[in-house]
Structure 1
Amino acid sequence: MAAAPPGPGPGDVERAGALMAAARRITVLTGAGISTDSGIPDFRGPQGVWTKDPAAAAMSTIGAYISDPEVRRRAWRSRLAHPGWDARPNAGHAALVELERAGRLHGLVTQNIDGLHQRAGSDPALVLEIHGTMLEAECLSCGLRTPMPEVLARVEAGEEDPPCPECGGIQKSATISFGQALREDVLDASVAAARSCDLLLAVGTSLTVHPAAGLCGEAADHGARLVIMNAEPTPYDPLADAVVRDPIGEALPLLVAAVTGGPAG
């Protein structure tokens, strides 16, 4: 498998488009970078949530969340103000819908919790939310799931740390925090999608969080091509057949157009 140059080079978009056009079963792995054009900041980029406020990471650490009521209160305020509630799908999300309509999308694994792929029109059956969803709350004791707007209405009404209505336990968003295990069924389906594709396209992810990042290696080990589209270098760039640094909202529609034979969207 040919290795890509260490950084962006001329022709990478064209090379990536040619690889995409030749593929028949494309699995896509998306990260926070695909949603930044929708107004949702990433975590580790120059303007990322954790870059600008390292203390915010505690809200995504299960041990701190369970043990510290103030972390939970801050987390609920943060959920209430999350930009995802007003966000709309962008050109990158729309391009992946076009890839699905072309019959080439084998699976869509997302590290994002914002639900924008489904709102753009992606088939929910193809979307594997490996890090969960912000659209529901989950009780850490009894497992009850509640639509997030219902719980946020309680926060707006004055409950700073609303307990589970069923058992009184601690609630959090139905997302995977650091220190929490991934849902086994979702992880298994994600690994299967990586192993059975002939090209894996990683979009807008730093590829530093495992096991999601390891899907690149799973795909390559099973003979698939690897295309990485991310503004910053990733640990998997040396394994890739093409590395694209161009803005996702511009480059991803071009790659999909190479597959469909026309402009994406």
Structure 2
Amino acid sequence: MPKHEAYISSASNPRVKEWAKLTERKYREREGKFLLEGIHLVKEALLAEWPLLYVVYDAGFGVPEELAAWAEDGTEGPGVSGGASWVPVSPEVIAKCSQAETPQPVFAVAEKRPLAADKLFDAEAGLVAVLDGVQDPGNVGTIVRSAAACGATAVVLGKGTADLYNAKTLRATMGALFHVPVVEADLAELLPEARERGMAVVGTSLQAARSCYDFDFRRGVWLAFGSEGGGLSDAVSSLVEENVIIPMTGRAESLNVAMAATVLLFEAQRQRMG
């Protein structure tokens, strides 16, 4: 049965202070936990049986209807670590733990569940999106969402990339992070290993001669995407086996990194389904 705890009114409550610290990256990394704000993300986490420690809701509104099945009898609940504790709180507590301008009446405290880097090589013909210094949370979240949608093996976040567990990034994933493994890694170490294991490390370039539609994505492929302003770093560029170009018959200088990633991921899916 779900665990229901006593009402918390004060934003100075010690537990609330611990939750609020998770709005900062250093505490998320230290504690191995993060916050999920809003009904949609919390519901997606519950559906995916993600380990949630607490589901915290505004007592004035009650448990949102969309989450009631988990709170009432747990028959559809996560069944992970005994399930989450459900905690009614005041609006002041919600506001203290929210990073949104208009806080939603529910949030959850979730445990990180990262994939070990060596697990990336379990799939013989894996499809991995590699992000090298992609700084915009919206772009990172969108790429994670596209990777999940096309059945990618994983997403790898290199140094300088926006934090996956930032509230803006999480919102942009629309819950997709629960459906595709995400790894934080040193690309200078990981990409050489990928190449040694027979994976093709592929980048994009406006100067490339080969169209992405002429590339064989049916083998193991790691797609590398660089920062919005500078593209791939020199260190990662030196590890790319081949660059491809996305043909554009209209008038545009280039594509946004999330758009480019989506085009290539779905081209890989199309070939693999053929």
- TM-score, length-normalised on structure 1? 0.27
Structure with greater contact order relative to length (CA < 8 Å, sep ≥ 6): 1
Compare the two structures and name the one with the higher helix fraction. Answer: 1
Q: Which of the pair has more CA radius of gyration?
A: 2
